[in-house]
Every structure is written in structure tokens, then in C-alpha cells.
Structure 1
Amino acid sequence: MHTSRHRSLLLAVAGTALALSLTACQDDSGGKSSTAPASSGTQASPRATDTSGATGPAGSSDPGRSKAPAGSTGASAGSAGQGTASTPVCTARDVHITAARQDGPPYTHLVLTARNTARHSCRLPGFPHIQFLESHKQDVTAVARSKPAAPVALAPGAPAYALVKLSDGGAHEDNEPVSAFSVMLEGDSTVIAVTAPGSGGVAVDPAKALTGYWTPELRNGADDF
């Protein structure tokens, strides 16, 4: 009878231990179950990082990268537009024009210098529209081969030049003395009075007079016409 009670006590203790062991296993399984979502969350975190990173495929990265090139392209186009179409054409108020003799006697050519006196850049297209004499109202003919590849752009203080032929040289009856003459810029109807160089002015043959286009530098011999 004593042995039976002892065996029953051992069985009870073993059952209790088994129950505790099963409970622990269930707790461990529950712990693992609760850990799994945490692991999934860890995997979601790199995707979130990729989305905000430069190399991420998500949409929040692509718009940022597409906007930057678009913005930079617009800026460069804008810049390009300001250097051409947005740069104003020079007017009579923007430039100061002077005349000087070129070479020595018989002084058949003049050099016109147009210097930008404004505080902004401007374009100087075409050629100077020159009238030497009141009796000859037509502009002096321009020489096409002196035309530059692009209109001259003048920064503040920068000069442009035009070579002007007065006559074939020598004294003959068609030459007329000129102490001052008029110049107009392309696109501006304002008449600019230019003083001829020398105390006695210059001798002009209206039938022989020619002018070159405005150029950024005087080309020696290239416009010798």
C-alpha cells in the first residue's frame, strides 16, 4: 500500500514536469512566432532605404533624379537663350562710334569703331548704314564677303570694327570733301553724326564708297576692297 502511494506520487510529479515542459515549448513557439514579424519588418526596412536612396527603383527616387536633369537642361537652354535671342540689339544709345584713317596717303579707307558704352551686353548685327553726302541719300553699299559668321556680341566696353572704302585714291573731280557723316545701326533709325578724321576731313567718291560688316576685330587685308 505504501509502495503504491509512492508510485502515484512519482507519476504526479512526472506529469507536472511534463506539463511544465509543454508549456515552455508553447512559450518558445510563441516567441518564435512573435520574432517572425520582426524579421519581416527588418526586410521591409532595406526596401524603404532603397526607395529614398539614389539607386532605389521606387518612384520617390525616380522623380528626384528626373527633375535634376530637367532643371539643369532648362538652365543651360535658358542660358543659351539669353546669349542669343535675349541679348538686345545695340542702339545708338548703347554705342559710341568714331572714325580713323587707315594706312597712309592717299587715305582711301576709314576704320569705324563702335564701342559699347552701356552697362549691358548687346548685339551689333549687319553693317553700318552710312551716308557721306547730303546729295547722295542712299546708303553706302556693303561688301558681302566681309560678313562674319554670327552677329557680333559686345560686352560692356567692348569694340566692334567696320572697314570703309572712301575712294580709289588720287585726286579727281568726283571726290568730295567730307568733314562729318551719318551712321545708322541696323534696327535703329537714330542718326549718329560721326566726325571725319583730320583737320580737312576726308575725300569721298560716292560711286566708289563701300563698307564692311561689323566684326569683333579688324581683319588685316581680308576686307581690303
Structure 2
Amino acid sequence: MSSSDTTGAADGGKSAGTSGATGSTGSTGSKGSAGSAKTGSTGSGGSSGSAGEGASVSDPVCTARDVAVTAATQGGAPYTHLVLTAKNTSGHSCRLTGFPHIQFLESHKQDAPAVARSKPATPVVLTAGAPAYALVKLSDGGVDEDNEPVSAFSVTLEDDPTVIAVTAPGSDGIAVDPAKVLTGYWTPELRNAADGF
């Protein structure tokens, strides 16, 4: 465990443990299910761009109803990383905040810690149809690791307690070492080399 992983884990644990939508920054308007009254859901214009283009930070926060989340393995065997893709299927722009809160195993209820250095410098705003990505570490790829098979796992978004069930890629699922898992923040492009975990 490096010191940067510890920093990331502390950052991830800060918001991952909040189950009552307390939130450290006040976007409390997303609790209601009929849309945020403050931001209003009437068109925010500029739907021609990709992530971050033609939209602004005044757009509502993305909820589980706004995105479709899928997973794909990255690199070759042994597969040590996943790429999560969150595609905006809502028809309007929204902001995808923070990182995916991931739980791989029923026996381990803690969220995968977030790597602080993967946090993007600017807000991730998704126009209609645009994707965002998060790199997820599953294991170190060693034969002596305490890996467990996972065929599906749960993801929740920042400020939305709705659980999104994600099917693991591959016919046999994925191998996860609960002691090694880490997640990156949502970004408009996959920055695997920059994140380095």
C-alpha cells in the first residue's frame, strides 16, 4: 500500500460512508424524485457537444435514472482493471459528480476506496448521449491473491442512494481481491496512464 493509495482511500472513505445523504457540499436538492426545483429541468440548451461541452455547472446532478452504467475489462489476462462507462440516456445535460461507489461482494460491505489523484480538474458535465469513464482496480493480478469470483456488482452515484446493478464482463465474471480494489473518479475521457493505479 503506497502513501498515495492511503490518501485516496481516506478521500474515498469520507463520502463513501455516508448513507443518509448528508453530503459534505450542499447539493441537497437531488433528494426529491421529481427533479430539482432549484435548477429546473427545462432545456439547458447546447446539446450538440460531448462530455463537458455545451453544458454548464448549473445543470442538474446526474441520478441513476439519467445514466446507464456498463463495465468492460481493460488490458489482457490476468484482468486487473475494469472500465466503468456511465452514458447519459436522459435526453438532457447533467453533472456526474465524484466517483462511483462500488460494492463487489456481499461479504464486504465497504465501498471501493477512491484514488484522489484521479479527480478531474473541472466538473464532468454530460450532454445527452455523452459518456464518462471510471477506471477500477480489481486486483494486482498475482496467483497468491485472495481473489473471489464476481458476476455482478452494485454501483451508486454521488448524492443518489439508488443502487445500479452492473453485470461483470465475461462469461465467468471477474476475479476481485477485496483488499486491493480501488476506483477512480468519473472523467470525460479514460485517463488510464495519468491515474496510474
**Do Structure 1 and Structure 2 share a fold, with TM-score over 0.5?**
yes
Q: Which residue of 2 aligns with 1:83?
A: 56
- Amino acid in structure 1 at the alignment position of 2:101: H
Contiguous gaps of at least 5 residues in structure 1: 1-77
- What are the Cα deviations for residues 102-146 of structure 1, in whole angstroms up to 9, with x where unaligned? 000110000000000011000001000000000111110000000
Deviation at 1:219, TM superposition (A): 1.1
Q: Given the alignment, which residue of 89, 108, 111 partners 2:83?
A: 111
- SS of the residue corresponding to residue 221 of structure 1 reads helix
Matched, 1:178 2:143: no
Q: Given the alignment, which residue of 172, 187, 192 partners 1:220?
A: 192
Q: Which residue of 1 aligns with 2:127?
A: 155
Aligned structure 1 segments of 4 or more residues deviating by more than 2 angstroms: 170-173
Q: Which residue of 2 aligns with 1:94?
A: 66
Query: Which entry has the higher C-alpha Rg, 1 or 2?
Result: 1
Contiguous gaps of at least 5 residues in structure 2: 1-43, 46-54
Change (3 A) 1:212 1:156: same
Q: Give the CA RMSD over aligned residues.
A: 1.6
Q: State the identity as a percent.
A: 78
Q: How does 1:166-205 map to 2 (within 5 A)?
A: 166-172=138-144, 174-205=146-177
Q: Structure 1: how far apart are the matches of 2:73 and 2:124?
A: 23
- SS of the residue corresponding to residue 117 of structure 2 reads helix
- What are the Cα deviations for residues 18-72 of structure 1, in whole angstroms up to 9, with x where unaligned? xxxxxxxxxxxxxxxxxxxxxxxxxxxxxxxxxxxxxxxxxxxxxxxxxxxxxxx
Deviation at 1:223, TM superposition (A): 1.7
- Amino acid in structure 2 at the alignment position of 1:84: V
1:126 and 1:151 in contact (8 A); partners too: no
Matched, 1:135 2:135: no
Q: Which residue of 2 aligns with 1:123?
A: 95
- SS of the residue corresponding to residue 222 of structure 1 reads helix
Q: Structure 1: how far apart are the matches of 2:131 and 2:93?
A: 11
TM-score (norm 1): 0.62
2:184 and 2:195 in contact (8 A); partners too: yes
